[in-house]
Amino acid sequence: MSRLTPPPRLLMGPGPINCYPRVLSAMSTQLVGQYDPVMTGYMNETMALYRQVFKTQNQQTLLIDGTSRAGIEAILVSVIEPGDRVLVPIFGRFGHLLAEISERAGADVKTIEVPWGEVFEPQQIEDAVKQFRPKVVAVVQGDTSTTMLQPLEHIGAICRQYDAIFYSDATASIGGNPFETDVWQLDAVSVGLQKCLGGPSGSAPVTMSDRYLDIVNKRRHVEAGIRNDNHRDGNASRIRSNYFDLPMIIDYWGEERLNHHTEAASMLYCARECALQLLEEGIEQSIHRHQIAGRAMLEGAQHLNLRVFGDISNKMTNVVGVYIPEGIDGEAIRHSMLHDFNIEIGTSFGPLHGKIWRIGTMGYNARPDAVYQTLQSLETVLRRAGHKLPLGEAVDAAYDVYAKANETSELTAAKEKAPSIKAVS
Ligand SMILES: Cc1ncc(COP(=O)(O)O)c(C=O)c1O
């Protein structure tokens, strides 16, 4: 075997995507000991940064070591006791994952579903909550399998009214779509780095409200070997996972520095850098960049004579689904994009398998040149496969989206610079 020399791919699928170069550099930074004050200082900084990313005052905002589903599993397994009711509105693959993890934790799970390509109205969720009276309502925000973004802003009030914990998996959407933990009254949120945050998978930032912690802390149980006389068990049942036991993890991140696990330091460096990058750019600015890139890709795809999948009014900014045209071999196109142009676009699964491609524009890759390259290559590959399309229009359509966005932002900047009437008078 030789040294690693992966080809210079442009990852334009539904995630993972190419990392921000600064994130890659951060990951290769030398380690310090896990209780070195420098390291615990980085841990505290990471908590503070992710409070801003999640838009929350929650003290308990930290990283779970593992991919995004580690965050999901930690949140669910720590709160669910066997027999607890959990409601999962499913509008794509990852809703099924929330239901699956809840079932494995012993929950009595009720699911409601809409067809892939749609999202729920708040009334549908309220009706189910009223009838089922769950302890937890678990909803994905952006489900890359369908490209849909579930509006969450009305669900928090419903959960408060019926005394349910409101949890969302925002792995695929945070940083590129609006997300408001406190304003939307979320009790727990988990995410990953490999989408709009522009990192690799392997660290799952989470945040937890006091309402959530009131329940979870009753299950506190410190493992033998690190227990001391000051540790008191909670009066509810012990959490069924040691690795994802949030009270112990919280004590590792807190003043006690309980020796629960060895923090994945390189991933912490990486998660910290992803948050810094987002906050330095500005969350609103990042969302705007994703909106423009997503629109440019969507309009470009339409000019390739491709039909867009799903309800566009509820689409995530950062991924678009397009139907594979009749008579075209979807996998042959993806193969040619990858091997002739070094560009990866996504396949799909479940009911959409073999029907749509998913094209992402997120994180580091939400850039005009990445959009233009993808569209231009796709045009060539599709044309050579016999798909009828108007030549040259896709990239031009994408250029137009960027030109319009620049005009609008120049106008806004000019207006902001102009002295207000009040200032003049
Ligand atoms: C919404 C959502 N949730 C969960 C996951 C699972 O993430 P991971 O593969 O990092 O565990 C993904 C991955 O694409 C996702 O998009």
* Whether the predicted pLDDT of 165 surpasses 90: yes
* Whether the predicted pLDDT of 416 surpasses 50: yes
Closest ligand 1 atom, residue 142 Cα: 1
- How far does the centroid of ligand 1 lie from the alpha carbon of residue 91, in Å? 14
The residues that bridge with 112 in the sheet, in sequence order, are 89
- How far does the centroid of ligand 1 lie from the alpha carbon of residue 95, in Å? 11
As a whole number of angstroms, the distance between CA 259 and CA 16 comes to 31
As a whole number of angstroms, the distance between CA 42 and CA 294 comes to 34
As a whole number of angstroms, the distance between CA 290 and CA 380 comes to 25
Please name the residue that has the structure tokens 């009223």: 130
Check residue 46 and give its pLDDT: 98
Half-sphere exposure of residue 125: CA atoms within 13 angstroms, side-chain side = 28
CATH of domain 283-413: 3.90.1150.10
Q: Domain 10-278 falls in which CATH fold?
A: Aspartate Aminotransferase; domain 2 (3.40.640)
User: Would the CB of 169 count as within 6 Å of ligand 1?
Assistant: yes
* Whether the predicted pLDDT of 422 surpasses 50: no
* Whether the predicted pLDDT of 337 surpasses 70: yes
Q: Note the pLDDT tens digit of each residue in 263-283.
A: 999 999 999 999 999 999 999
Higher pLDDT, 415 or 67: 67
* Length in residues, the chain: 425
Closest ligand 1 atom, residue 14 Cα: 14
- How far does the centroid of ligand 1 lie from the alpha carbon of residue 134, in Å? 24
As a whole number of angstroms, the distance between CA 425 and CA 419 comes to 10
As a whole number of angstroms, the distance between CA 308 and CA 222 comes to 51
Check residue 411 and give its pLDDT: 67
Q: Note the pLDDT tens digit of each residue in 125-136.
A: 999 999 999 999
- Other beta carbons within 10 Å of 373: 18
Please name the residue that has the structure tokens 């593992």: 66
User: Would the CB of 358 count as within 6 Å of ligand 1?
Assistant: no
Check residue 409 and give its pLDDT: 79
**Same fold yes or no, 10-278 and 283-413:** no
Check residue 392 and give its pLDDT: 95
- How far does the centroid of ligand 1 lie from the alpha carbon of residue 68, in Å? 5
User: Would the CB of 172 count as within 6 Å of ligand 1?
Assistant: yes
As a whole number of angstroms, the distance between CA 27 and CA 83 comes to 41
What is the residue-averaged pLDDT of the chain? 96
What is the mean pLDDT of the segment spanning 362-388? Answer: 98
- How far does the centroid of ligand 1 lie from the alpha carbon of residue 334, in Å? 22
What is the mean pLDDT of the segment spanning 196-205? Answer: 98
Q: Phi then psi for 100, rounded to 5 degrees? A: -60, -45
Q: Note the pLDDT tens digit of each residue in 216-253.
A: 999 999 999 999 999 999 999 999 999 999 999 999 99
Closest ligand 1 atom, residue 69 Cα: 11
- How far does the centroid of ligand 1 lie from the alpha carbon of residue 316, in Å? 15
User: Would the CB of 91 count as within 6 Å of ligand 1?
Assistant: no
* Whether the predicted pLDDT of 109 surpasses 50: yes
- Buried (b) or exposed (e) across 185-199, using 16+ Cβ within 10 A? bbbbbbbbbbbbbbb
- How far does the centroid of ligand 1 lie from the alpha carbon of residue 190, in Å? 10
User: Would the CB of 346 count as within 6 Å of ligand 1?
Assistant: no
- How far does the centroid of ligand 1 lie from the alpha carbon of residue 178, in Å? 18
- How far does the centroid of ligand 1 lie from the alpha carbon of residue 137, in Å? 18
* Whether the predicted pLDDT of 424 surpasses 60: no
Check residue 423 and give its pLDDT: 41
What is the bridge-based pairing of β-strands 165-169 and 136-140? Answer: parallel
Q: Nearest to residue 14, comparing CAs of 136, 196, 233?
A: 196
Closest ligand 1 atom, residue 15 Cα: 14
What is the mean pLDDT of the segment spanning 183-189? Answer: 98
User: Would the CB of 94 count as within 6 Å of ligand 1?
Assistant: yes
Closest ligand 1 atom, residue 140 Cα: 1
Q: Worst-scoring range by mean pLDDT, 272-281, 296-305, 390-399, 407-416?
A: 407-416
* Whether the predicted pLDDT of 418 surpasses 70: no
Q: Note the pLDDT tens digit of each residue in 308-321.
A: 999 999 999 999 99
Q: Phi then psi for 142, rounded to 5 degrees? A: -115, 120
**Which of 11, 65, 67, 69 to probe ligand 1 with, by most ligand atoms within 8 A of CB?**
69
> Which residue ranges make up each domain of the chain?
10-278, 283-413
Check residue 425 and give its pLDDT: 33
User: Would the CB of 170 count as within 6 Å of ligand 1?
Assistant: no
